[in-house]
Amino acid sequence: MYREVAKLVLYRDLGEDSILLKLSGIFHDFDTKDFDKAQLTTRIYEQIKALLDLSTVYGFDRNLWHNYLTFILLTNENSFSMTSEKVGANDGSVNHFAKGDFRIFKKLFDFDFSVIERALDIDCFSTVCSYKAIVKKERMYNKNVSEKVQAVSAQIEQAADEEEIFRIVTDFYAAYGVGMFGLNKAFRIRHLEDGVEFMPVNNTDRVILDDLIGYEIQKKKLIDNTEAFIQGLPANNVLLFGDAGTGKSTSIKAILNEYYDQGLRMIEIYKHQFRDLSTVIAQVKNRNYRFIIYMDDLSFEEFEIEYKFLKAVIEGGMETKPDNVLIYATSNRRHIIRETWSDRSDVEQNEGMHRSDTMQEKLSLVARFGVTISFSRPSQKEYFRIVMELAKRYPGITLSEEELCAEANKWELSHGGISGRTAQQFINYIAGKERV
């Protein structure tokens, strides 16, 4: 194994803690007879545990060794994989090295672990190559990554040679990309001294636009802007504002699910992270994806100045915002920044300051969102319609329409008033109660 791994060219940067590199060192010592049996067994078990931990995070099953090797191929960002992400598989000298690496991965896929197992009297390799994972709930692992890795792994298992692996892997790069952006839908960020780190969101809400009842005009406006963005046409930053619980955040999450397969990715950023916005954009601007920077429940008090960073990024800074980045934000406030009555008076009596300048400063942030979509609180009739439509999704609910509406009316009076969120919470309560 170590001889093969040492010959890797494009895929050789695996990281110091790579399971493959550690196993390569173990097999080097085994082949040269330079080992203590107990110590070598311990080293093997350490890497088997690392493989099991990785497989648990991503929900791998059956042949964990093949899943792991495929995971490397799909996440390793190198000159070949990054180029394939952007332009697909083209003729070029780099293909010679890529196919050489894929030939090595084919040998690793077919590697015979029986020799070392007999010598050390262990069976851990056989176990992980024919593994039966415990069934887990979706929220306990990254299902999106798991499905894609295992699907490609199954294809490579059937591949006859490196030429076929080349086609399988480059097809994946062209369709989804490479690395964490290729496998994951959504990300959060963490500030580092020398930049930012992207952290995948393992389990995004699987909501779709049809789950949001009503608001057809609002959804159409959001869809039109997003589709233009996905197709590389001019598109605008979007602000969704209005009453709480009306579906603003749900609409944006649904948009991600609808267009993920077309290259849409989402980065969620909180208010205290606005200083990192320029760094985030710099790191994604050359990738072959369309990124929506998502800001939920955006609002600022008078004393908060973070909105100035946002203004500069959206429009106003020296560097032009790249074509593959848009900002989608939700807010319960139409103007995002809290206004005071003194803002509306042009001149303050005591100091003679022109408050209209302050007002314009605050409103200029909203003006930089080219599309604003209002989500207003539903009427009682619309509220009852939402309740009835949601109830249809729970066959166990046996209440009549009249009973449901009466109970829904009582529920909203004591649970925050009429909204789509209140309707969903009511249906959750009734569905749970009916099951009991």
Position of tokens 């295992």? 150
Q: How far is 140 from 58, CA to CA, in rounded Å?
A: 9
Q: How far is CA 128 from CA 62, 125, 314, in A?
A: 8, 5, 49
- Specify the amino acid at residue 267: I
Q: How far is 85 from 325, CA to CA, in rounded Å?
A: 17
* Per-residue model confidence (pLDDT) at position 114: 95
Q: How far is 271 from 277, CA to CA, in rounded Å?
A: 10
Specify burial of residue 194 (Cβ count, 10 A radius: 0-12, 13-18, 19+): exposed
* Per-residue model confidence (pLDDT) at position 339: 55
* Per-residue model confidence (pLDDT) at position 352: 47
* Per-residue model confidence (pLDDT) at position 92: 83
List the chain domain ranges.
Answer: 2-181, 186-190+197-375, 380-435
Q: Strand, helix or coil at 239?
A: strand
* Per-residue model confidence (pLDDT) at position 271: 85
Q: Is the dihedral of CA 395, 398, 402, 408 positive or negative?
A: negative
Which is nearest to 325 in space by CA: 264, 383, 272?
A: 264
Angle between helix 94-109 and helix 79-87 axes, rounded to 10 deg: 110
Per-residue pLDDT of the chain (436 residues; tens, 9 = 90+): 889 999 999 999 998 889 999 999 999 999 988 778 999 999 999 999 999 999 988 889 899 999 999 999 999 999 999 999 888 777 888 999 999 999 999 999 999 999 999 999 999 999 999 998 877 665 555 677 888 999 999 999 999 999 999 999 999 998 888 988 888 889 999 998 888 999 988 777 888 888 889 899 999 999 999 999 999 999 999 999 988 888 999 999 999 999 998 989 999 998 888 888 889 998 998 888 999 999 998 876 665 666 677 777 776 555 567 899 999 999 887 666 655 545 455 545 555 444 555 556 556 667 778 899 999 999 999 999 999 999 998 888 888 899 999 999 999 988 888 999 999 999 999 988 876 4
Which is nearest to 69 in space by CA: 10, 157, 144, 175?
A: 157
* Per-residue model confidence (pLDDT) at position 341: 44
* Per-residue model confidence (pLDDT) at position 177: 87
Position of tokens 């294809």? 155
* Per-residue model confidence (pLDDT) at position 42: 96
- Topology of domain 186-190+197-375 in CATH is Rossmann fold (3.40.50)
Contacts of 93 (CB under 8 A, 6+ apart): none
